[in-house]
Amino acid sequence: MRSSLRKKNILIIVISFLVIIVASVFASYEIIKVLVQDQYKQQVISVSETAAAVLIPENVRAVRDEALKVYNSTENKVYSDDWGSPEFDEYVSRYSYIEDMHEFNRVISDLHLVQDRNNVDCIYITAMIPEDKNSIYLIDAADEDACMPGVLDPIYEVNYETLEDPERGFPAYVTNTDPYGWLVSGGVPIKDGNSVVGYCMCDISMASIMESILRYTIYIAVFLLIISAILVIVFLSFMEANVNNPLRAMTEAACNHAGFNDPKTELTFSDLDVKTGDEIQMLAEALKEIQTKGIS
């Protein structure tokens, strides 16, 4: 089954523009996401360094030592994945006395000060348990849904290097997990003398950021779709006037000349009026010469 040149042109042009739109939207989304994430990664580390600089390491060590005592004496560990379950509540309740320590309250006061001045979601202190590849919360200054002392998270594979090199800290990284959602996280070591006693971490929620990126990407897609629709109409109009119509006329005249049309139409080569200024016009003029000279 034959398909007209006009239909082929429309199909090719529409598919080409759709491919360009999809590629442009995807590239825009990825570029914007990377730029935003890089900006927030830098902020996370900067805030962590500021907070770590104002803390008294001896206070952090005292809180860490108490938390590790409970951790090491507890056989069945419960992770943050089970947040809200009776088992989880019972587990973290064993650490509750730590919140009454003078050192705990001194550290959390300092963290609140840095957190409020930098307008971040939360700053918190953790300690690593290398043999179990776990990270345990010591102090969390978040205003809402703060993690109690003793909350456990596995150390993600991206941070395994820190297990072997504790002074490396936690270079900023992005995660999307329950119950925390999209987060940019990072942290720096807190040192007491030559030993690392904990890590000052900072989280910035990416949930609203990702929604904004997606929303702007949709705006870009709609804008490109409208522009592309206008360009497709303009381009098809140009193709119709300068390619399809002249070729259609020449085809009809050639079929009449060869006797293919039954009945014949009145269009002949001499009737052709093609002013495209390119090879199509040259072809039309050559066809006129054929009829003028009587070439069959």
Indicate whether 198 pLDDT > 60: yes
Residue 211, token pair as written in the block: 């929604």
Core vs surface per residue 64-85: b (16+ CB within 10 A) or e: bebbeebbeeeeeebebeebee
Whole-number Cα distances in Å, 111 to 99, 122, 189, 261: 14, 9, 15, 89
Helical pair 279-293 and 245-258, crossing angle rounded to 10 deg: 20
Residue 221 neighbours by CB under 8 Å, 6+ apart: 21, 25
Q: Give the torsion through C-alpha atoms of 102, 106, 109, 113, to 10 deg.
A: 180
Exposed, middle or buried by CB within 10 Å (0-12, 13-18, 19+), for 204? buried
Give the model's pLDDT for residue 2: 53
Binned at pLDDT 50, 70 and 90, residue 196 comes out as very high
Whole-number Cα distances in Å, 141 to 32, 147, 219, 277: 30, 9, 37, 75
Binned at pLDDT 50, 70 and 90, residue 225 comes out as confident
Binned at pLDDT 50, 70 and 90, residue 197 comes out as very high
Indicate whether 180 pLDDT > 80: no
Binned at pLDDT 50, 70 and 90, residue 151 comes out as very high
Binned at pLDDT 50, 70 and 90, residue 149 comes out as very high
Q: Tell me, what DSSP letter sits at residue 143?
A: S
Domains and CATH numbers, the chain: 5-22+212-293 (no CATH), 55-205 (3.30.450)
Pick 87 or 291 by higher pLDDT.
87
Let me know: does 163 contact 177? Beta carbons within 8 Å.
Answer: no
Indicate whether 113 pLDDT > 70: yes
Residue 86 neighbours by CB under 8 Å, 6+ apart: none
Lowest mean pLDDT among 66-75, 145-154, 277-286: 277-286
Please state the pTM of the whole predicted model.
Answer: 0.65
Whole-number Cα distances in Å, 205 to 83, 131, 137, 261: 19, 29, 18, 72
Indicate whether 114 pLDDT > 80: yes
Let me know: does 28 contact 217? Beta carbons within 8 Å.
Answer: yes
Pick 254 or 80 by higher pLDDT.
80
Give the model's pLDDT for residue 262: 58
Task: Give residue for tokens 């953790």.
Answer: 126
Give the model's pLDDT for residue 137: 96
Among 230, 265, 235, smallest CA distance to 251 is for 265
Indicate whether 268 pLDDT > 90: no
pLDDT averaged over every residue in the chain: 86
Pick 281 or 60 by higher pLDDT.
60
Core vs surface per residue 126-150: b (16+ CB within 10 A) or e: bbbbeeeebbbbbbbbbeeeebbbb
Give the model's pLDDT for residue 1: 43
Q: What average pLDDT does this structure show over 154-174?
A: 88
Residue 239 neighbours by CB under 8 Å, 6+ apart: 9, 13
